[in-house]
Structure 1
Amino acid sequence: MIFRHTRLIMGTALLAVALPAVPAMAQDADEARIKKLEAEVRALQRKVFPGGDGRYFEPQIDSSAPVTTTSSSPASTTAVTDILARLDALEASLQRLTGQVEVNSNAVRDLESRLAALESGAAPAVAADNLLPDEQPLPAAAGPAPTPPPAPAASGPSAQRLAAVQAIAKPQTDDPGDDEYSYGFRLWNAGFYPEAQQQLAMFVEKYPRHPRATYGRNLLGRAYLDDGKPREAAPWFLKNYQEDRNAERAPDSLLYLAESMIALGDTNRACIALAEFGETYPAIAAGRLSNQYEANRKKVTCN
């Protein structure tokens, strides 16, 4: 019996000698377990070699208490199982997060490619050999805002037209910016498109941060579109949409951009603008602008 317990103590000592080879944190954990095992061995020795004089060991446990067998194996197994379960949960969460990141990244790349397609050509690409003498490439949407070309001196407005334009009163309120926009609107509403173009271009240049600026840029594009100039209209619609997509007339401009592309025969960019409109403004596409949206969709065949 003594020999068997002596082997227990020697085995414990050998285990303690072998432990320094493991990392510091693991060694500390094993050191605690070894101390616990040594304490249990000493308690077992007291149980096997009882002595009232205490000559073997100083009493540390109550001999009257029921003996419980302690095993580190189940505890270790439970701890390892818990760690593996937590690792599995972390890996599953990481996989879900990775998948979500990939989905979001693909959506962002798709949106960026669409915008790049719109920015690269608010008007259709035309070979240099096919350009007419009076045609010029559209200015880049990110550059300075386009200005209406001056009217030829030999073909100035008639006296009758000047009188009709002068008959349109310009508002006079305490908001000069709103007065300039309202005057441009009145010119456009009366069908004086060149005059409206000049007035609205002046307004958006002078008051770019005015609450009516989104209305002004959109109406300036419409003044060109209604005047039969979709090439000049398209950059204004694109600029208004890019300036602030949450602005009041941003959805209108995106839809009119598609209409300008349709007028220019550019089905590809028209479809891109229509798809962007439907995805970005689903409520408006089904509500306020539903008739115009559906009418434009019927004009083109999109893949």
Structure 2
Amino acid sequence: MPTEAHDELLPEPEDDDVGEEEVAAEEEEDAINFDPRVGARDDWADAMSEVRKRKQQRSREARSEKGEGDDDNGDEPSWEKHERQPLCSPRVFRQCIIMLAVLVLFGCVQLWMWLNPTPLSCDLELIRPQKFKVDVTDFFAPKVSAALQLVLNVRNNNMLRSMLLEQCTLVAYEAATSLKLGSAQQGSLVIAPFTTTRATISLQQLGGSLPQPEQRRLATEFLSQKALLLTIVATASSRLPFKGSKASTVATNSSKRVDLSTLTKEPFFQRQQASVEEEAPTSEPKVHDVPNV
């Protein structure tokens, strides 16, 4: 049963007989105080809130399809997270740092090579036999006469500097006995940066200056094997192509088997061509009268 205190808390009924003048005054006051921007701002906020909810719902559905499950921990939408990400990922940043370090190291190496250029090197590529003779005019003292053509590769390993080859000295040794058989030289030559130039040198009078016993032994080996095993030592002296530069020397050696079978001429079985040919008759025989007896 309601008490008197409860009756006091109840609102008093409004008077239904409000005058028309008061209603019109209130409407006029609302029209004067109306601000359209307030309503537009509220509508824009509601629209953006609805868009956020939809994007959040789509991201949750996408994660649920991938098996990640729904995240109801108040996560922000993915587009907001993307706006806060840095310009590049840490992995890309590390790769850029590594590439920059490699470029700096390469530049330091090139600078060191510019200040300290690498000398030229001569490498033997090919040996072409040209002549090999054994003179047996004196049977007990044969004489050797040989000539070779040596093909060299002159290499410049500097990427930014040309080099001047002052000279390249070639010395031929017999591989078995280390006996010096002959030598030759290549003149000056300018090599462009990071290139290889081929040079051809002729080695004449191979073994011609040896003592007579050594020439006899070399001739015997040639006649028995039709080949020689040689060691070629190439010594290249090079420097920068301007006055006052310091020259550097590099020596390389290589062993080659020279096949002389194509030049073989057996001196004991050669025959000289006939130097005197039969003369043809130049005139008819004269007819002599036989006297009558």
Structure 1-normalised TM-score? 0.28
The structure with the greater share of residues assigned to helix is 1
> Based on CA coordinates, which of the two structures has the bigger radius of gyration?
2
Q: Identify which of structures 1 and 2 has the higher relative contact order when contacts are C-alpha pairs closer than 8 Å and 6+ apart.
A: 2
The structure with the greater share of residues assigned to strand is 2
